[in-house]
Structure 1
Amino acid sequence: MKILVACEERQAVTIELRRLGHEAYSCDIIPCSGGHPEWHIMQDVIPLINGRCKFKTMDGKEHEITSKWDLLICHPPCTYLSNAGARHLWKGHKLNEERYQKGLEAKAFFETLWKADCDRVVVENPVPSRIYELPPYTQTVQPHDYYGKEHPYTKKTCLWERGVKPLVPVEPVQPIATWCPSGSYSHKHQDKHRGMFTKDRAKNRAKTFPGIAKAMAEQWAGDIREGSQCEK
């Protein structure tokens, strides 16, 4: 399958897709930190999402997609859409117009990805603020439910899925802590609920856990390597 992973610089999902034999590319406006510049497109992703495009990866090699992508997985920025940041929308009882407008811009970007000309589209984001009226998400996932032994934490993430089946838990475990709650949440709860991070929360909230990335690759794309018994 030819797969584009939008707004992904850590390459967690792309690496798992490549491991299973797919022609997958990550795309972001910043360089990748996942260690594979030969799979990373550093540019605005919107011109690419409908396929039928040419692009260069960071190693300078040119590529061409002659049809639609087989699968589009998107991780758009959530800073202004997330319910966790909703408290910043208000100054007392007055709406913060500047932040609200940035949220509307983020919503437009989200919806452009969601409506891409692709038969299989997934968009990942935290629980959104109701004020932006995003379309209903199809499921929520937790790190501890997907190969959770490596990361037995809670971090509720929403998935908007079109053309793929919802993810099914694989090797779930009982969570031991919250990964990265809001600041106010961290101070009100017992130790196991205070979270692994109280600093750099925005950066750590954006993390795609390896177990979830692995499940995405396995369940939405499948193993197509030669000799695999799991080809889809």
Structure 2
Amino acid sequence: MRGLRVLIGGEYSGTIRDAFIARGHDAMSCDFSATAAPGPHYRGDWADIEGDGWDLAIYHRTCTYMANSGAKHLYRGMKKENGIDEGRFIDMLRDAHAFWLHMQQCPVEFAAWENPVMLGYAQLLVGKPDQTVQPWWFATDHAGPDNVKKATCWWTKGGLPKLKPTGLLDGSTARDEVFQMAPTKDPEERRMARSRFTPGHAAAIADQWGAFVIARKAGRHNSCVSTAAHPDFVTSGRAA
């Protein structure tokens, strides 16, 4: 079977896109920012192109207001005793509802949505993730980019299986780089650095979910060929 057409929404690094391309797939990243690595990239809203016949889509939705790591920002002055910051709470609910709605309306049959651990309030709307993984699950080198801690949640559609660890490490030496990342002059620079995807995780996605979708599509194709070869089965509901 030919390679898949894969859309990576909300990706500017090209990490997952390039993992699929390396395996012979036709992949494109999409983000409002320009791609950081040369390759197929649509600069704009994924809503513009997600209906263009993709076989698989991977989405990275903005987590600013929904991430559990930012729970203190739900309160005025970042103190619970000051009461809820209504504006921030409304922003969180808005993003959570948009996340849920996109999962209901996404036109791609096989799809996955990534986000960090969510606030409980957000999960009431979005629902619990199908799986939570760590980058070090896919690490083979103690000093490599995958040997880090960053709980990553996945919500999936189309029966995509849970990702299986492919690494050789046990997490005991995983670095806590994301949590300890120092503030930057430009908050957006820090946000993008914290959201950068690791290559081992991307490779596992391309290998495992890519193979799953290919197998599903191949199975349907074989079923159609078999049915076409036995027309009496269609008309009578049984083999001749």
Q: Normalising by structure 1, what TM-score?
A: 0.76
Residue 155 (structure 1) aligned to one of 150, 154, 163: 150
In the alignment, does 2:198 pair up with 1:198? no
> Would you say 1:173 and 2:169 are equivalent positions?
yes
SS in 1 for 2:87: helix
Pair 1:220–1:169, CA change in 2 (3 A): same
Gaps of 5+ in 1: 52-64, 182-194, 224-230
Alignment of 1:31-110 (within 5 A): 31-36=34-39, 39-49=40-50, 51=51, 65=52, 67=53, 69-91=54-76, 92-110=81-99
Distance 1:48 1:109 in 2: 18
The CA distance in 1 between the partners of 2:49 and 2:112, in whole Å, is: 15
1:74-113 C-alpha deviation (Å, 9 max, x unpaired): 0111111100011101114321122122222322332243
Gaps of 5+ in 2: 185-189, 213-217, 220-240
SS, match of residue 123 in structure 1: strand
* Change beyond 3 A, Cα 1:118–1:135: same
Counterparts in 2 of 1:129-144, with a 5 A limit? Answer: 129-132=119-122, 133=124, 134-144=126-136
Deviations 1:165-205 (A, max 9, x none): 11000023133221312xxxxxxxxxxxxx4x233553332
Aligned to 1:19: 22
SS at match of 2:38: coil
Distance 1:113 1:146 in 2: 28
Structure possessing the higher radius of gyration over alpha carbons:
2
* Aligned sequence identity (%): 27
Q: How many angstroms apart in 2 are the aligned matches of 1:86 and 1:23? A: 39
In structure 2, the CA distance between the partners of 1:41 and 1:80, relative to structure 1 (3 Å rule), is same
Which one is further off, 80-89 or 155-164?
155-164
Structure 1 residues 172 and 97: alpha-carbon distance in aligned structure 2, compared to 1, 3 A threshold: farther
1:179-218 → structure 2 map (5 Å cutoff) = 179-181=177-179, 195=180, 197-200=181-184, 201-218=190-207
8 Å CA contact retained: 1:20, 1:222 = no
Tell me the residue number matched to 1:125: 115
In structure 2, what is the Cα distance between the partners aligned to 1:148 and 1:124? Answer: 23
Consecutive aligned runs of 4 or more in structure 1 exceeding 3 Å deviation: none
> Match of 1:179, as an amino acid?
E
**Normalised TM-score (structure 2):** 0.74
Larger helix percent: 2
- Indicate yes or no: 2:33 matched with 1:30: yes
**Distance in 2 between residues matched to 1:199 and 1:29, nearest whole Å:** 23
Please list the CA deviations of residues 33-66 of structure 1 after superposition, one character each: whole Å capped at 9, or x if unmatched.
1222xx10011112332x2xxxxxxxxxxxxx3x
1:113 matched to 2:113: no
